[in-house]
Amino acid sequence: MAVTNLDGEYDLILYGLGVMGENFIRNFARNGYRVIGVNRTVAVTEKFAAQVAEEDIARQVGTAETLVEACQHLKSPGGAVLAMIKANDPVIEPWGGIDDLFFRGSIARYGEQEQKDVPPLVDLVPEGTVIIDAANSHPRSTRQRCAEFARRNILFIGTGVSGGSEGALKGPCIMPGGSKEAYAPVSQMLESAAAQVDGSCCTYIGDNEAGHFVKNVHNGIEYGIMQAIAEAYYALAHLLDLAPADIQPIFAEMTAGRHGGYLMEISTLILGMVDSESGKPMLDVILDRAGQKGTGKWTSQIAFDLGVPVPTVAAALQARIMSAYKPEREAAAQKLAGRLAGRFAAEDRERLIEATADALYGTMVAAYAQGFWLMREASLADPEDSNGSYDFTLQLDEIARIWKGGCIIRSQLLDPIREAHQEDPDLHNIMLAPQFSRTLEDEQFQTNWRWWVRTMAGLGLPRDAMGASLLFFDTYRTARLPANMIQAQRDCFGEHGFERVDKDGKGFHLSPAG
């Protein structure tokens, strides 16, 4: 069948027909917008065209071989082009395929050998078009693109999207950043396509790279919570000798309470899954090697540049990195004795279940605390500072609100987080808010969390996120840390100077006599 089947004007071109892209088109069409689907590999477009022709939204959706044909049918002014293709890591590759698409030109692939050159998008779009980068782009890349599009007088927004393929279809969380002028023409379209919880789960995030910055932080929090849930499952399985199906009701009870959220929901579901080929629990046949797409790494790097502690996120990232070394770990398991078998008492079963729940909740709070702290510091950063060159202001209570629907980290904790920021817009850390401090300073809660981490350490079991989060809590609440020794050491070997507790200034030095 012919791929180009356009008729009249369209509101949106969506470039990138992966599962999320295809579902996003269906979402926009269901909300009354006319959309053109385009993909670099034309066979993918052709397949999508055949599928959508049988659906009730067929009259709302067109397809084109290239952006050349698609842009000729784009509404002007007020039309938009949304790119959903893989972003590059600017640390490794300063220029990527999405930049070629926008500024240098791309290709359309028809087969093994045949391809067609396509001019850059900036030369194709009608005047007044809004270009939307909906990839998982690094904020640094988005900042550069904002500047380049502004130089060309073209409207552009860097937009984070969270929710996976299901969210794209039913309503994701959408985090657009850039100029308000660029957001205005597409605000109604994006807000109608987003999840609807206490209003649209899409709002204008802020200037420049704000949208992609917030999406990166979202993914960092996601890393931390995912790792913590995995550690909770692992502890119950190994210490209580429980099958995944036996752990499922324990998780279900937590999910019904204050732990509730999307990640807990899907984890509870996974625990009950059975492999159709072997008949074994699905978790028992899945290899223990987790992948990553880079956003957890970026969040950690950004936090280090801004000088914000994110140990839960960093520990989760390190755990994924370590998981990739499967052969090395198997070899080490044969040579390095670790776990002290038989040391866990059967009578501690109920205590372990209770402590696991408290340790998991504490870690969830810590992950959100680190993410919101990072966003706060980015808002306060000096745009001229090489370590924190961000130029936007984030409304943290609104971010908590839109994260309540569509996105991967939607959870019960977001209502009290939003409430805490509304009550105190200058809140430094959500752990200080009464919504969380009452629980965190409870003696039994802390005893359980500490006992869980101590038990895992004593038996040599994973505790990456749970342990790092407890350390984060303890370090944050410690008025005087051993950093005085570090100041002295630095001055001793490098004459860096130090500060005193009883005088102002930084230029003090150790005496020659030490």
- Please state, in angstroms and rounded to a whole number, the distance separating the CA atoms of residues 97 and 118: 13
CA angle at 321 for the pair 318 and 325, rounded to the nearest 5°: 135
242 vs 256: CA distance, rounded Å: 21
Of 406, 411, 409, nearest in space to 20 by CA: 406
Tell me the two tokens of residue 478. Answer: 């410690």
Joined together, the tokens standing for residue 21 give: 């892209």
Quick check: 299 and 220 in contact, CB under 8 A?
Answer: yes
**Is-catalytic flag, 215?**
yes
Instruction: Name the catalytic one among 222, 231, 297, 404.
Output: 222
Distance separating alpha carbons of residues 387 and 479, to the nearest angstrom: 26
Is 293 an annotated catalytic residue? no
Nearest to 51 by CA among 70, 23, 76, 31: 23
SS3 sequence of 259-293: CCEHHHHHHHHHHCCECCCCCCEHHHHCCCCCCCC
Other CB atoms closer than 10 Å to residue 32's CB: what's the count?
Answer: 11
| Residue 421: burial class (beta carbons within 10 Å; 0-12, 13-18, 19+) | buried
> Among 22, 75, 209, 215, which one carries the catalytic annotation?
215
The Cα–Cα gap between 372 and 218 comes to 9
Interatomic CA distance for residues 417 and 431, integer angstroms: 10
Contact (CB, 8 A) for 510 and 490: no
* CB count in 10 Å sphere of residue 138: 26
Q: Determine whether 480 is exposed, middle or buried from the number of CB atoms within 10 Å of its CB (0-12, 13-18, 19+).
A: exposed
Catalytic residues: 215, 222
